[in-house]
C-alpha cells in the first residue's frame, strides 16, 4: 500500500471540477492572476451566473477561494489542493521507483542479465 492523503469525496470533487474545459481555463487564469468574477464573465461566451456556477464548483473542490474586495469578488487558486495532488503522486512515484530498483536488484542477484 502507498499512503494516500486524499479521501474519496475529495477525489470526486477534484475530478468533477477538472473535467470541464472552462473550469480548467478559469483555474489557469487564477494561477496567473486574481481575476474578479465579473472579469471572468467577460472572457467566456456565457452569462455571469454560469461563470459564477463554474467558480462555485472549483470552490467546492477546494481549488479556488473567493474573496470580496470592495464591490468585486476576487478569485484566487488554492494551491494546497493542487499541491496535495502533486504530493500524492510524488509519494507514489518515490515508492515505486524504490520498488523498481529492488526488482532490478533481485533480477541481478538471481542470474538476470
Partner 1 sequence: MTIVSVDKDYASLSLVLVAEFDAPIERVWQLWADPRQLERWWGPPTHPATVEKHDLAVGGEVAYFMTGPEGEQTRGWWRVTSVDAPRSLDFTDGFANQDGTPNAEMPTTTVEVRLAEHADGTRVAMRFGFASREHMDQLERWGAFEVFPQSVAQMDALLAATPDQEDL
List interacting residues with partner 1 (CB under 8 A): 1-2, 4, 6-8, 11-12, 14-15, 18-19, 24, 27-28, 31-32, 77, 79-80, 82-83, 85-89, 92-93, 95-107, 110, 112-113
Beta strand 64-69 with 72-77: parallel, antiparallel or unpaired?
A: antiparallel
Q: At its nearest, how many Å lie between partner 1 and the CB of residue 70?
A: 25
C-beta closer to partner 1: residue 15 or 48: 15
C-beta closer to partner 1: residue 53 or 86: 86
Q: At its nearest, how many Å lie between partner 1 and the CB of residue 34?
A: 13
Q: Which of 6-42 are b and which e, b meaning 16 or more Cβ less than 10 Å from the residue's Cβ? A: eeeeeeebbeebbeeebbeebbebbeeeebbbeebbe
**53's grid cell:** 456556477
Q: At its nearest, how many Å lie between partner 1 and the CB of residue 11?
A: 5
CA distance 95 to 92: 5
C-beta closer to partner 1: residue 48 or 79: 79
In a 13 Å sphere around the CA of 83, the CA atoms on its Cβ side amount to 6
Amino acid at each position: 500500500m502507498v499512503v494516500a492523503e486524499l479521501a474519496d469525496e475529495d477525489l470526486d470533487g477534484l475530478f468533477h471540477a477538472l473535467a470541464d474545459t472552462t473550469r480548467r481555463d478559469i483555474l489557469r487564469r487564477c494561477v496567473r492572476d486574481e481575476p474578479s468574477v465579473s472579469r471572468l464573465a467577460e472572457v467566456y461566451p456565457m452569462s455571469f451566473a454560469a461563470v459564477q456556477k463554474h467558480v462555485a464548483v472549483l470552490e467546492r473542490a477546494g481549488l479556488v477561494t473567493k474573496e470580496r474586495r470592495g464591490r468585486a469578488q476576487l478569485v484566487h487558486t488554492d494551491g494546497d489542493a493542487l499541491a496535495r495532488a502533486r504530493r500524492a503522486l510524488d509519494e507514489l512515484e518515490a515508492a515505486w521507483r524504490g520498488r523498481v530498483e529492488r526488482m532490478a536488484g533481485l533480477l541481478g542477484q538471481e542470474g538476470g542479465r
